[in-house]
Amino acid sequence: MTESENTVEDTNLDETQEQAGTSSETVDVAELQARLEEAEAKAKEAQDKYLRAQAEMENIRRRSERELENAHKYGMEKFATELLPVIDSLELGLVAASADDADIEKLREGSELTAKMLIAAFEKFGINPVHPIDETFDPDFHQAMTMIEHPEKDPNTVIDVMQKGYTLNERLIRPAMVVVSKAPQGAPQGEKEES
């Protein structure tokens, strides 16, 4: 081969390489462009999901706040509804007592029925009386108003209730005011006299 032939062949080879390089660059750029568009689409989708989740969390927070506010505001509604008949009965009793021909027996019966209605409403909502007659004094539920010697009762026994106590779902809301027995003077403390 001659030198000019070699030069032509080298030129052809360079052109072929340039064309091959251009086409591989074109393929790489096109592939990269496709990947970029795909990544941008995924990022946009992820951003959209994030914004939707954030909006949903905000809606849940607002709904929870509203429900909590309503629970505080209207939590006593059922209890109040149960007490309305009691109030009605008391008002009817007051009207009956104001009459010139008021019958004491009927007023007493009406008061007893009203008290039963109130006790039933209390029990329905977990409010129970503490009425500890003949029970051992318990400072967690009883408040001793006085102590009296009582030869027939063990010391520290509740012998009278001046005012009932109440619990709400087993939690004390008011202690019972009680009279407690104590050992007669001269008797040994902590021992019951034998008969």
pLDDT tens, position by position, 32-62: 889 999 999 999 999 999 999 999 999 999 9
By C-alpha distance, which of 126, 131, 115 is closest to 177? 131
Has domain 126-186 been given CATH number 2.30.22.10? yes
When pLDDT is cut at 50, 70 and 90, the band that residue 129 belongs to is very high
pLDDT value of residue 14: 58
When pLDDT is cut at 50, 70 and 90, the band that residue 28 belongs to is confident
Mean of pLDDT values over 112-138: 94
Q: Which contiguous run of DSSP H or E holds residue 179?
A: strand 176-182
This model's pTM is above 0.75: no
| 169-194 pLDDT per residue, tens | 999 999 999 999 998 876 655 544 44
Mean of pLDDT values over 93-115: 91
pLDDT value of residue 73: 86
18 pLDDT more than 90: no
Cα–Cα distance, 120 to 127 (Å, whole number): 9
Domain boundaries, the chain: 1-75, 76-125, 126-186
Secondary structure tally for the chain: helices H, strands E: 3, 6
Mean of pLDDT values over 131-151: 93
Cα–Cα distance, 114 to 163 (Å, whole number): 19
